[in-house]
Amino acid sequence: MVDFQAILNRIYQDAKAVKDKGVVASYIPELAHVDPEAFGMHLRTSEGEKYGVGDFDKLFSIQSISKVFALSKAMALIGDAIWKRVDVEPSGNPYNFLALLEIENSIPRNPFINSGAIVIADILLSNLKNPKADFLSYVRELAGDSSINYNEEVAYSEKNTGFKNYASANLLKSFNNLENPVDAVLDFYFHQCAIEMSCSQLSKAFYLFANKGSCMQQKQHISNQQVKRINALMLTCGFYDEAGEFAFEVGLPGKSGVGGGIAALLPDQFVISVWSPGLNKKGNSKLGVHALEQFTTKAKLSIF
Ligand code: DON
């Protein structure tokens, strides 16, 4: 039997001692206020055992981790029609890279880079009755927790400074790959990114991706085949131009956000979430990636 708590404790001690914890994101001004010393980690097995260390119950901005919830909802709503508008290839470029979009006729490489996620946001806007309320309800339902909310200050902060996302959305619109007005799509997108959750809430909300599409409440939201595809996309594209490195070091499908969170999973076994706000050069949590590498190495558990 692996002693998960002992492994997490060890990782926590090591993380606390690290001097260079990376750089907290500041291009969304509201995110810059976060304590760079915060560190939390939470593991939830498919049998319901829970292990946590540090700030695992503290809320943080999930940012791009929300793209996995958005993709799963869009897949549930319109299925394979998504793939006419977004591709499934790693981009090998930063999450906010624009040049490929024009070269490739405004079909984003994948649903996790910003341009791809903006197309998914457009799909949700067209297919949900009350997009912001319905999306929040979906995330709450997955986590089994009605306290989860948008942080309006963070959404507003990105609305005022998200120039690259405006550029990307305008390009998508010019190529007819957005159905709704640019402002409406970005308002939704900035809100989905501004959801706040803790590591323990993320471990619950990601349960369906480790358990064949059925959430903790035993409701089947997406098919087994759709989960296979989402996990493949997390593995190949979840960390942008660091996806290869993450697969190489950690060996789990996962998704990062510039709030410093990462959620990752081993199918049928567990979900593991980590939060450390300092980012590396690729915009992923510096200590978060390291902590997950330590975890899969010490526990000898990965998909490989
Ligand atoms: O669109 C943005 O730039 C942010 N709302 C989300 C980016 C992000 O989280 C990238 N992940 N590491």
One DSSP character per residue, 30-73 reads: GGGGS-TT--EEEEEETT--EEEEESTTS-EE-GGGHHHHHHHH
Q: Are 29 and 13 spatial neighbours (Cβ–Cβ below 8 Å)?
A: no
pLDDT of residue 99: 93
Atom of ligand 1 nearest to the CA of 193: 5
Q: Tell me how crowded residue 269 is: count the other CB atoms within 10 A of its CB.
A: 17
pLDDT of residue 244: 97
Q: How far is the CA of 65 from the centre of ligand 1 (A)?
A: 9
Q: Whose CA is nearest to atom 4 of ligand 1?
A: 63
pLDDT of residue 1: 82
> How far apart are the C-alpha atoms of 11 and 9, rounded to whole Å?
6
Q: Whose CA is nearest to atom 1 of ligand 1?
A: 114
Q: Whose CA is nearest to atom 11 of ligand 1?
A: 257
Q: Which of 31, 96, 193, 282 to mutate to test the pocket of ligand 1 (most atoms within 8 A of CB)?
A: 193
> How far apart are the C-alpha atoms of 153 and 106, rounded to whole Å?
30
95 touches ligand 1 (CB under 6 Å): yes
pLDDT tens readout for residues 233-272? 999 999 999 999 999 999 999 999 999 999 999 999 999 9
Is residue 56 over pLDDT 90? yes
Q: Tell me how crowded residue 260 is: count the other CB atoms within 10 A of its CB.
A: 31
pLDDT of residue 181: 98
**Which ipTM score applies to this complex?**
0.99
Return the CATH class of domain 4-299. alpha beta
Q: Which of 69, 95, 186, 285 to mutate to test the pocket of ligand 1 (most atoms within 8 A of CB)?
A: 95
165 touches ligand 1 (CB under 6 Å): yes
